[in-house]
Copies of this chain bind each other. A is one copy, B any other.
Amino acid sequence: MIPRYAQAEITEIWSDRNKLELWQKSELAVIEAKVNLNQVTRDVFVKISEILKGAPIDLEWWKKKDREIRHDLNAFIEERVRFLPLELRPYFHGDEELTSYDVEEPAFGQMLKGSVIPVEREVSEIMNVLEGLARKYRYTIMMGRTHGQEAELQTFGKRCLTWYQDLGVDLFFLKMAKRSLKYSKISGALGNYGSIDPKVEKEALKILGFQPFYGATQIMPRELYAPLAQSFCQIVMTLEKIATDIRLGARSPRPIYQEPFAKAQKGSSRMPHKKNSISTEQMEGMARMEKGNSHTIMENIRTWEERAIEQSSVERVVWPDLFHIVLHSLRTMTKVLRGLAVYPDNMLWEVIDSRGCYASGEAKKFLAKKGVPFSLSSEEAYRIVQLAAFNVFEPSTGARQLRGNPPTSLDQANELLLRFQVAPRPVPVSIKDIMLNGELKPSSELEATEANVQKWNEVLRQIFQDQGSTKEFHQIFSAPYLLRHEAKLYQEILGLE
């Protein structure tokens, strides 16, 4: 991974130095296991481990040898046994019983295990931040949106809860995927032990923190690891989803929230007014990469017979990248969410500018019920509220003209700009008012005829002659009424009463 996105602990864990030290651990664990099983004297183990721990691995020596014999694990063995007196050498690399992957698999398993720890921690961390936001904005109302369109009322806290739960699902699958990491193998060139004593495998793996996977070939089946890569991909895709929501909410000129913008930050070299969503947009790039990477890991399942080495180059490159990207993404988004600029005022303006449509479902339900005595069908109730909604967003005469006749020169465009600039803004009408007053008008965009509309207005006026109905109708547009059940989510998800 390029330095810009690399995460320090991952770089460290996947370094050659660390890998070779883990190889040495595997080798020593096998000797120690034999000591525990009384197959080798403790003295031998103590001597070997003291010598080797006292002689740091010479990475350059090792690399040179690897280039020569084209076998990195054998090069490592040659590097190590240099330091052992002849009589101790046979004890190293399991008395000639081990195959390279008996050493490499436990090391690889430890690299994965070590790298997963910060991922899991950072998922929990970002969930904490989201919980904080959910609590802080529990009563901050906003427009929920489906299909990009303003839909019904919700709180911003509730939106945070849905993000929280998305990550919760991801965390569940991460934990499932992690279960595979408890296995490893020291079972020889074909996984049927050759002359390795299965007891030695079990004991050595125990020392290294693993259980044997029975049924490995020369290597562990890659089916064990693909779900981990997939779980990272899911995490980054959830972060991308959240990031997209933030980008959508950050659109000028009236953002409802924005990723943090540093005081000295520059948005654009050309346009000084810009506050660009660079962190959240980057999440989409990260998701693209993590999708590619996790897909590539999935392909590692295929190999030939008791193994070929197709998977090795991929794992050298893609596993660390998977970890770098998921961690970088988690940390970036934690920063974004922790510093998120939230504008409850603009959220309110959005609610107001939806002109009552946020309660259109309730209005329809109200009408369906109250309309029964007037033989108003449920279908008609739908069409009435739809018409009211189209009426409140009916363009002005000037606007309608412009729609039919776009300008034919830049000068004309400029005149229009100047004219609109000084024109009075239309007073927003709400569907509540239109319905209360029975003031529906036909719309060129809908099918209802003049006669339909007249009849519907008549019914509306009759309904609202009743004071109780009017009061009830007003209530439909109030936040406490509309959000009366949201508390259930806080209760179930965060345990709040």
Contact = CB atoms under 8 A, between A and B. Distances in A.
Contacts of A406: 136-137, 139-140, 342, 344
Interface string A279-319: 00110111111011111101111111111111111101110
Given A169-B223, A227-B230, A348-B402, 7 more contacts: A69-B265, A154-B306, A162-B306, A214-B493, A247-B308, A345-B396, A345-B402
A373 B387 CA distance: 61
B309 A147 contact: yes
A44 interface: no
A95 interface: yes
Given A99-B269, A147-B277, A298 B234 contact: yes
Interface stretch (A116-124, A352-360, A452-460): A352-360
A277 to B, nearest CB: 5
B352 A241 contact: no
Per assembly, the copies of the chain total: 4
B221 A343 contact: no
A162 B191 contact: yes
A209 interface: no
A354 B96 contact: no
Contacts of A244: 302, 304
A302 B224 contact: no
Given A214-B165, A445-B261, A403 B251 contact: no
Given A238-B223, A313-B285, A272 B386 contact: yes
Given A403-B342, A407-B139, A166 B223 contact: yes
Nearest to A220: B169
Contacts of A301: 234, 237-238, 240-241
Contacts of A354: 252-253
